Amino acid sequence: MTEIRDQWSILAESIGQYSADMIGRDHVDALSVVLDSRTQSCTVSVELHKSTREEQLRAMRILLDVEGVFLDEVTMSFDFVEDINNSGPVLESQRQFQAV
C-alpha cells in the first residue's frame, strides 16, 4: 500500500530532518514537528542529549537559522523538552514528523 502524503507532511518532515541535521544528530535525543496547515505555523520540540543552558542556546541559534530557511512557508516556534513523548497536550496523531 502506497502512502499518500500532502505538502504539509512533506514540509514537516523537511523541517524536522533539516533541524536535526543542523543541530547535529549526536546532540539530539528526539525531535518532533507539529504543523498546523490552517495557521501555517509549526512547533518544533527538541529533546537534547545534554539539556544544559549552553546546549539550548547553541540549538536555539541554529533553529533561528532554520526558521529563516522556511520563513516563506511557515511560522515556527520552538520548545525544549525533557521527554518528547510526554511533552504536553499534542496527540501522537498530530505529529507529522518525529525522529528519535
Structural domain boundaries enclosing 46: 7-99
Q: What is the CATH number of the domain that holds 75?
A: 3.30.70
pLDDT for the residue 100: 59
Beta strands in the chain (DSSP E): 28-36, 41-48, 75-80, 97-99
Band of the pLDDT at 4, cuts 50, 70, 90? Answer: low
pLDDT for the residue 94: 53
Q: Which residues fall within 8 angstroms of residue 10, CB to CB, at 6 or more apart? A: none
Domain count, the chain: 1
Q: Does some domain include residue 89?
A: yes
* pLDDT at position 81 over 60: yes
Q: Does some domain include residue 2?
A: no
Band of the pLDDT at 45, cuts 50, 70, 90? Answer: very high
For the whole model, what pTM was predicted? 0.84
% of the chain residues with pLDDT over 70: 83
